[in-house]
Structure 1
């Protein structure tokens, strides 16, 4: 982002927070471990001698599928054990541990939590070093590394999922969410969910000057209320299926899956702004040498087309490597894996959002709670 933000006028609570938390956000910590720049990986297999690789990833069906598609084979081929932690969030675990003893060697993130952790300290291996040691990263589309912190390996487009039998005429643009015909039948998420964060920032930009126009976003949330509030996308799918919402913030893959099941749901992908729901991995900078090398191998395997083709088919995500295949369930809705198809994706200024997060969360929660 090249736009600048006006100096904010901090509330008393924010000022106190900044004053007491300043030490956390300083560009601190420069431990020069011998292995900091010496661990290399060329894409092959090696014997890790039974070492444990600490991984932070999503749980449930996601974990079961990753184990089936990759983890079991990975453990055998590299003679290691993957210790899988799905107890999100990861940020508190990083800041609570000594800097040279990170809780995880490799982590899968959504953008806001990843940027928050990167902002708090020198936790991650520099992206250029990661890419130099992950051969499959040479085959990703540019947007996958535009965040400059980690490598995105799968993504979905943000959209509105809407009931085709309750939304006549169908929505055609971002602002149609606020049309009177959807009054009382709109759905979004709790303020800690990335989908709501991106929805709010998109509203700031569409109805205001840019993503920094928070007042425009607050006004948009007021005009959209009352809203059905979900904590995750699966619950929103249920609300759509039961007809409790006529239109809702969603990722496109989930909307297409419902349509394939015969549910009267379609997707309007946002084109005025193009944020994406991402899966992005980082490698911890100061983990021990064996874990670091295993982390690079783990990320390389994640970016392998063989894994991505199977994973994205199961979860209806789109892959980020140029040689991967778009799942049939996405291809039939016109999704393509081409340079034109992935151009124009936007990454919000998450550092700015995080600076104002307390006020955004408090204000938006008040709006949601007052209707």
Structure 2
């Protein structure tokens, strides 16, 4: 992927100067006085932020409650700062409305489709190389943690089929989803859910020539109809538990959590091995103090101690090679090794974003939405 860097041309500077009402030459202090033009670095140590506020975009609910208790409450105390947490997703319109040079968030948590859409819209984020240079714990992450080019992935789950074990043979092939025994008992997601986006590209790869074969994916999804279409994974788990669907597109940890509750459910990981990721970005034009705090918070997010606790709570896998796999996943044979991560596939989200309008329109027609 292309790594974006700030572009300050004479034309862009002149446009900015004119917008500010400048009538003469742009003074040399133009760049120096802009906070985002100042270099900011972080070496991993605790520092006094003197009460500064760090604007964070991240999921709410039980997720926020856990992260506050397990990470940010102590972070605020250690760094003498305040976390301003916003969970009102989506982030894309907020970034675009406020503009790159006045970022709505200093650090933000994403799923890759939405991140790549925003990254393509402007110079909002530091590149992965810039982040790695200022986040010491990033050095211990597997290579796929940097696939976006615009942040660091800190946790992930493989995409799977979750299926009822009391409805016949186990699922062990991607095309089993289309088996006659699952007619009218298949579950997938609406066109705004990232699981549907990945399923679409996995279908293209399985039924066509590669992940870009959209016609093959549209045909495969048409052939799978009728399907139960859900908006959220937790609702899909309810459909599985009640027996309203017998097989569903899902993610590993959540589905295994239902299995651990005693439901007759198991999972099969797709053989193309795509992964759902949690990726944090740092805004390029945040003020120096906020940018330094963002580096520090991301560094603590990548600490094995936090990743271990997070995995125990939500059954997500860590990208830090030194973190542990939570016991429930270890019991399923999951390990955190280089060999275990080699097969993981991060779909081409730039391609999906470029074609999202067409894909959404045609899928809504297939689903009758």
Question: TM-score scaled by structure 2?
Answer: 0.91
1:79 paired residue number: 80
Query: How does 1:17-56 map onto structure 2 within 5 Å?
Result: 30=8, 33=34, 35-36=36-37, 38-56=39-57
2:113 paired residue number: 112
Distance, in Å, in 1 between the alignment partners of 2:148 and 2:52 is 31
2:244 paired residue number: 244
2:353 paired residue number: 354
Q: CA deviation at 1:78?
A: 0.4
Query: How does 1:196-215 map onto structure 2 within 5 Å?
Result: 196-215=196-215
2:95 paired residue number: 94
Distance, in Å, in 2 between the alignment partners of 1:145 and 1:54 is 23
2:285 paired residue number: 286
Asked whether the equivalents of residues 28 and 121 of structure 1 are also in contact (C-alpha less than 8 Å), the reply is: no
Q: CA deviation at 1:29?
A: 5.4
1:308 paired residue number: 307
Q: CA deviation at 1:351?
A: 1.4
Q: CA deviation at 1:34?
A: 5.6
CA deviation string 1:96-129 (max 9, x = no partner) = 0133110000000000000001100000012211
Asked whether the equivalents of residues 5 and 127 of structure 2 are also in contact (C-alpha less than 8 Å), the reply is: no
Distance, in Å, in 2 between the alignment partners of 1:281 and 1:142 is 15
Distance, in Å, in 2 between the alignment partners of 1:75 and 1:28 is 30
Q: CA deviation at 1:340?
A: 0.9
Q: CA deviation at 1:164?
A: 0.2
Distance, in Å, in 1 between the alignment partners of 2:296 and 2:361 is 41
Q: CA deviation at 1:147?
A: 2.1
1:23 paired residue number: none
Distance, in Å, in 1 between the alignment partners of 2:7 and 2:191 is 31
Where 1:133 maps in the other structure, the secondary structure is coil
1:20 paired residue number: none
1:227 aligns with 2:227: yes
Which portions of structure 1, spanning 4 or more consecutive aligned residues, are displaced by more than 6 angstroms? Answer: none
Structure 1 gaps of 5+ residues are 3-25
Alignment CA distance shift 1:135-1:28 (3 Å) = closer
1:152 paired residue number: 153
1:194 aligns with 2:199: no
Where 2:197 maps in the other structure, the secondary structure is helix
Asked whether the equivalents of residues 27 and 121 of structure 1 are also in contact (C-alpha less than 8 Å), the reply is: no
Asked whether the equivalents of residues 36 and 285 of structure 1 are also in contact (C-alpha less than 8 Å), the reply is: no
CA deviation string 1:293-329 (max 9, x = no partner) = 0000000000001111001110000001111010001
Q: CA deviation at 1:35?
A: 4.4
Distance, in Å, in 1 between the alignment partners of 2:285 and 2:357 is 30
1:327 aligns with 2:326: yes
Equivalent pairs, count: 345
Where 2:340 maps in the other structure, the secondary structure is coil
Distance, in Å, in 2 between the alignment partners of 1:204 and 1:99 is 34
| Cα RMSD after superposing both structures | 1.7
Q: Which deviates more from structure 2 when the two are superposed, residues 59-68 or residues 31-40?
A: 31-40
Alignment CA distance shift 1:316-1:162 (3 Å) = same
CA deviation string 1:221-264 (max 9, x = no partner) = 11111111111110011000000000000001111111111100
1:64 paired residue number: 65
1:256 paired residue number: 256
Distance, in Å, in 2 between the alignment partners of 1:250 and 1:292 is 35
Asked whether the equivalents of residues 35 and 288 of structure 2 are also in contact (C-alpha less than 8 Å), the reply is: no
Alignment CA distance shift 1:181-1:331 (3 Å) = same
CA deviation string 1:67-107 (max 9, x = no partner) = 01011100000000000000101010111013311000000
Asked whether the equivalents of residues 259 and 265 of structure 1 are also in contact (C-alpha less than 8 Å), the reply is: yes
